[in-house]
Structure 1
Amino acid sequence: MNSANVRSLLVRGMLAGLGAGLLALVVAYLLGEPRVDAAIAYEDAHAAGAPEMELVSRSLQSTAGLATGVLVYGVSLGGFAALAYCFALGRVGRFSPRATAALLSGVALVAVYVVPFLKYPANPPSVGDPETIGKRTTLYFLMMALSVLLAVAAVIVGKKLAPRLGNWYATVTAVLGFAVAIGFAYAFLPAVNEVPEDFSATLLWQFRLAALAIQLTLWTSFGLLFGHLAERLLNPKPATAAPTADRNGLRETAASTP
């Protein structure tokens, strides 16, 4: 792929990421923020002494702060995903540009978010010991890195097995291998459970579902938007010329008209 196409796809990826970020922002505001407010209310009710002064107001956090974070994340995601798309196009199978974008988004959703989420799920404010935040963050990103590397390895193994086993059985074998490797990672990495005993299980479940819905919206909408833009760039529809009248034919018709 030439550099001009790479640049064009990078720009389109960032635009698609921006559009996906806008949709995810709506989901985050409608589903996520009410649960965050409820968790903060729980934290304030169980805090000892007077509540600490906020450096940034909650209203600013839930509007401008949320929008900035989600949109910047969406644009960054779109840029990195577009570069990964340039590498994957034509190497993962004979898929169209749109299908490749959908496949890449689905794999990225599973590897980058779902797999780490199942081991270390998202927690609302007031859940977790502040002294262990560094350890929890390190474990989460370690799980994410392992998931991404194992997903890439599964794709490579599937490609190598395809000539001998066929596409279907090669894919099944690669997916099963990925699942087994992730299972070992789940077993050996330490678990983290710092949810207070009296914290609402309903609120915790709703918060985690909202976090999952945000990521699902982000990756799905990115795959659809970027797939459309990539298809238009890489497989443009041929321009149809307007039919032109045959002057000789018109003269002959006019001459034969009584």
Structure 2
Amino acid sequence: MYASTVRNLLVRGMLAGLIAGLLAFAVAYAVGEPPVDASIAVEEAQAAQEAGAHAGHGAAAPGGAEEEEEAVSRPVQSTVGLATGVLVYGVALGGIAALAFSFALGRAGRFGPRATAALTAAAAFTTVYLVPFLKYPATPPAVGNPDTIGRRTTLFFLMILLSVLLGVAAIIAGRRLAPRLGNWNATLTAAAGFVLATGLAFVFLPPNSDAVKPGFPAAVLWEFRLASVAVQLVLWTVFGIVFGALAQRLLTPRPSTPHPTPLPA
């Protein structure tokens, strides 16, 4: 594939990521922000109870009598801040997925641009988000132990790296097994190997036992995690559809217009 074609695909991938990010932001704002607000309310109620307990024992509340003001207000966080984060995330991942598409096109089977884009989006959703989420599910802000946030973040990104590497290894194994087993059996074998290797990673990687504080409402946690899955699902589904259409239009040769035959004099 020519460098100019890859560059054009990269631009279209970023554009598709931007469009997908806009729709993902709408979903995040509609279904993701209510559980975040509920989580903050739970945190504030617990902080008020702790402050009352300290006051009852004649001790000063932790952090002083006055609460620290937020650097960015909650309305700004839930609108401008959320939109900026989701859009940047969508554009960045759209560009990376477009490069992965450029490599996979023609190597992952006899699929056209739209089918390859859909497969790329599905693989990215599975390896970059779904598998790590199953091991280390998302939690609302400020519900875990702040002392272990660095360790929990490291484990999450390690799970992403392992998932991506195992996914690439499964694709390579499937391609090599196809001549002997056939495409269908090779795909099933590679998928089974991916599931087995991922299961072993789940067993040996340490859990995030302190990711959620004791007593946090299970309903709020469940709603937040469902919203997180919905946002990612919308993001990658829209990206696969939009980028597939853009790539199809770029890579499909246009029929040449025949020149009119001059009439005899």
Counterpart of 1:17 in structure 2: which amino acid?
Answer: G
Paired position in structure 1 for 2:54: none
In structure 1, C-alpha distance between the alignment counterparts of 2:77 and 2:173, rounded to whole Å: 45
Which residues of structure 1 form unaligned runs of 5+?
Answer: 249-258
Paired position in structure 2 for 1:219: 236
Paired position in structure 1 for 2:217: 200
Deviations 1:192-233 (A, max 9, x none): 132233211111000000000000000110000000000000
- More displaced stretch, 101-110 vs 41-50: 41-50
Q: Is the 8 A contact 2:137 2:225 kept in 1?
A: yes
Deviations 1:29-79 (A, max 9, x none): 001011111100111111144543101100110111011100011110111
1:41-80 superposed matches below 5 A? 41-47=41-47, 48-49=50-51, 50-80=66-96
Aligned with residue 148 of structure 1, among 164, 186, 189: 164
1:168-207 superposed matches below 5 A? 168-194=184-210, 195-207=212-224
Paired position in structure 2 for 1:20: 20
Paired position in structure 2 for 1:86: 102
Paired position in structure 1 for 2:59: none
Which residues of structure 2 form unaligned runs of 5+?
Answer: 52-65
Name the count of aligned residue pairs.
Answer: 248
Q: Is the 8 A contact 1:42 1:126 kept in 2?
A: no
Q: Is the 8 A contact 1:32 1:211 kept in 2?
A: yes
Counterpart of 1:106 in structure 2: which amino acid?
Answer: A
Q: Is the 8 A contact 1:35 1:203 kept in 2?
A: yes
Aligned with residue 95 of structure 1, among 95, 108, 111: 111
- Asked if 1:35 corresponds to 2:52, the answer is no
Q: Is the 8 A contact 2:145 2:213 kept in 1?
A: no
Aligned with residue 252 of structure 2, among 235, 246, 250: 235
TM-score normalised according to structure 1 size: 0.92
Counterpart of 2:22 in structure 1: which amino acid?
Answer: L
In structure 2, C-alpha distance between the alignment counterparts of 1:153 and 1:245, rounded to whole Å: 56
Q: CA deviation at 1:239?
A: 5.3
